[in-house]
Amino acid sequence: MKRTVWRALGALLAAVVLLGALPLSAGAFADVEAGAWYADAINEMAGEGYLLGYPDGLFRPGEAVSIGQFLTIAGRCAGVSPGAGQTPHWAAGWVQAALDRGWVDWDECPPTGERFDEAVTRQVAVKALMRALLPDVRGDYSTESPKIKDFGELDGRYYESTFAAYAAGVVVGHGDGAFRPLGHLTRGEACLLIQRALKLSGGGANPPGPGVPDVPDGPMEAIKGGASENGWLQVKGTQLCNEMGQPVVLHGMSSHGIQWFPEFVGGQAIKNTAGYGANLFRVAMYTAEDGYLSQPEKMEKRAVEAVDAAIAQDMYVILDWHILFDGNPMDHVEEAEDFFGRMAQRYKDTPNVLYEICNEPNGNVSWQGDVKPYAQRVVKAIRAHSKGLVLVGSPTWSQDIHLAAQDPVEGEGILYTLHFYAGTHGQALRDRIDGAMAKGLPVFISEWGTSRADGSGGVFLDEAAVWLDFLEERGISWANWSLCGKNETSAALKIGTPTDRAWGWEDLTESGRFVFGRF
Ligand code: IDC
């Protein structure tokens, strides 16, 4: 903080000294000389509120533009709002917005912040800009590549956006005909480029107007981090908190059915997920469909191994009694009491484990007559050994939290699950969450998907982004369906992805990239 203040003061002093020497400028910034080749672009964009410059009133047009700065300006021009940043860095929300929309990929600018201040390469800048402002423009290989003298240096990954930029006239290349894909852009050049794209796109969807602050209000309130940092979780009001009583959010993946995809609950797969920043894993142990009810020993062993693998990564882990075709949890309440009693005893000293006692009650089942009495019995079996959190579902595939809010289960450390799929469920279900929370019900999204509710279709990333922003604002935790390579759009990994090595960005599906990017 202090360093920033000194830097700003120093710059201010330099500006005062320099001002005398500079020709008077009618523009927005003292260091943008009238008549300079970039001056009109900078002054117009500043006038429209897309540029703010530095707090000391300078623009520093000759300085290399950082990736954080570039994505911030592009985001403003595209009329999007900043996402929920993962670090206190001022650009975190804008970078997140760009990642969410696929303007840049995680490897080009990880949301964790360590590269936000790096100078952006020209190929990455052009890709982000074209995707943000002119996503429908295409350029032809045979027409555009001859325009680029150093075409051989361009990575194939950037062909599409670079050709489009040349075709549209956003990039005209250096005087010598080179693009310099790995070179940098000055802030002056960046403005010129962005303004060209902005004009071609019709002028910007939603100019923010002057005075939009460059710096967001501050770091995220809720803590992430694993079990060694947060200890036993507890519920305070509607908020999930750590052992010290500070708000915590858990973000992670749900497995698919462990009877079908054992390799995706192995140590390496869980480690890979943790490596992308997840602090939660959900072990979906189906009861029907060849699950626990028909092969209890085998499934229990597999579930325990998966839980232990997540614990080894310092993650919180949900043991999910995944009822689905067996819609009424009461049908197998004794098996559930037995299973959860044994698990609670096994993990009584391990703060990592959460118990989800009925994935999705459905069909001819009621809250008061079936799910609540079931929950009371299973909570009792768990509380005989452990104070670990219990997650309780509700009728209509865990959407009827309003019924639970009217008549909650007795006891401590209980949260209520709500499940949504971005292609099927929207505002009505979000309103239901607000209604239930207003009644004091703690909510946990133990399963959601970017697809339709059948696990495929889409993906619906815009809708999913609305959902995740909503959850972020409320400090609600979530697990995404699902970590596997099945041929359905909700799967996070491409078909055939091996599980005995680390996963690169290229292994992830569209859904996987979106979700992993959000960790
Ligand atoms: C789906 C799987 C699909 C599988 C089906 C039946 O994606 O491959 O064939 O279950 O077992 C849920 C359930 C979850 C569903 C998912 C998508 O909890 O088991 O997985 N979904 O349909 N609730 C809403 C959606």
- Residue keyed to tokens 């970017």: 450
Q: Which of 48, 144, 356, 447 is catalytic?
A: 447
Per-residue b or e along 38-58, where b marks 16 or more CB atoms closer than 10 Å to that residue's CB: bbbbbbbbbebebbbbbebeb
Is 324's C-beta closer than 6 angstroms to any atom of ligand 1?
A: yes
Alpha-helix runs per DSSP H in 394-491 = 395-398, 401-406, 427-438, 461-474
pLDDT at 339: 98
The CA distance from 25 to 27, in Å, is: 5
Ligand 1 center to residue 237 CA distance, Å?
31
Chain segment 143-189, per-residue pLDDT in tens = 999 999 999 999 999 999 999 999 999 998 667 788 999 999 989 99
What is the token pair recorded at 11? 């710059």
Ligand 1 center to residue 18 CA distance, Å?
65
* Cβ 99 vs Cβ 111: under 8 Å: yes
Ligand 1 center to residue 482 CA distance, Å?
9
Catalogue all structural domains in the chain, each as residue range(s) with its CATH number. Answer: 6-200 (no CATH), 227-517 (3.20.20.80)
Nearest CA to ligand 1 atom 12: 453
- Structural element, H or E, at residue 415: strand 414-421
Ligand 1 center to residue 332 CA distance, Å?
20
Query: In the predicted model, what is the mean pLDDT of residues 15-28?
Result: 42
pLDDT at 90: 81
Query: In the predicted model, what is the mean pLDDT of residues 370-383?
Result: 98
What's the residue count for the chain? 519
Query: In the predicted model, what is the mean pLDDT of residues 361-371?
Result: 98
Is 486's C-beta closer than 6 angstroms to any atom of ligand 1?
A: yes
Q: Which of 48, 144, 360, 463 is catalytic?
A: 360
Asked whether the predicted pLDDT for residue 214 surpasses 60, the reply is no
Nearest CA to ligand 1 atom 25: 453
The CA distance from 205 to 193, in Å, is: 17
The phi and psi torsions of 361 (rounded to 5 degrees) equal: -60, 140
- Structural element, H or E, at residue 254: strand 251-255
pLDDT class of 246 with cuts at 50, 70, 90: confident
Is 289's C-beta closer than 6 angstroms to any atom of ligand 1?
A: yes
Is 455's C-beta closer than 6 angstroms to any atom of ligand 1?
A: yes
Ligand 1 center to residue 449 CA distance, Å?
10
Chain segment 23-44, per-residue pLDDT in tens = 333 577 888 888 888 898 998 8
Asked whether the predicted pLDDT for residue 414 surpasses 50, the reply is yes
Query: In the predicted model, what is the mean pLDDT of residues 75-95?
Result: 87
User: What is the rounded radius of gyration, in angstroms, for the C-alpha atoms of the chain?
Assistant: 26
Instruction: Establish whether 447 is a catalytic residue.
Output: yes
Nearest CA to ligand 1 atom 1: 455
- Residue keyed to tokens 């940043």: 85
The CA distance from 11 to 368, in Å, is: 67
The phi and psi torsions of 417 (rounded to 5 degrees) equal: -85, 145
Packed helices 296-312 and 333-346: angle between N→C axes, nearest 10 degrees: 40
Packed helices 67-78 and 122-133: angle between N→C axes, nearest 10 degrees: 10
Strands 414-421 and 443-449 come out as parallel
Of the residues 258, 293, 324, which should be mutated to test ligand 1's pocket, given the most ligand atoms within 8 Å of the CB? Answer: 324
Ligand 1 center to residue 481 CA distance, Å?
8
Query: In the predicted model, what is the mean pLDDT of residues 12-30?
Result: 47
SS (H, E, C) 28-43: CCCCCCCCCCCHHHHH
* Cβ 200 vs Cβ 170: under 8 Å: yes
Is 481's C-beta closer than 6 angstroms to any atom of ligand 1?
A: yes
What is the token pair recorded at 6? 């000194």
118: left (phi over 0), alpha (psi -120 to 50) or beta: beta
What is the token pair recorded at 152? 């051989």
Asked whether the predicted pLDDT for residue 3 surpasses 60, the reply is no
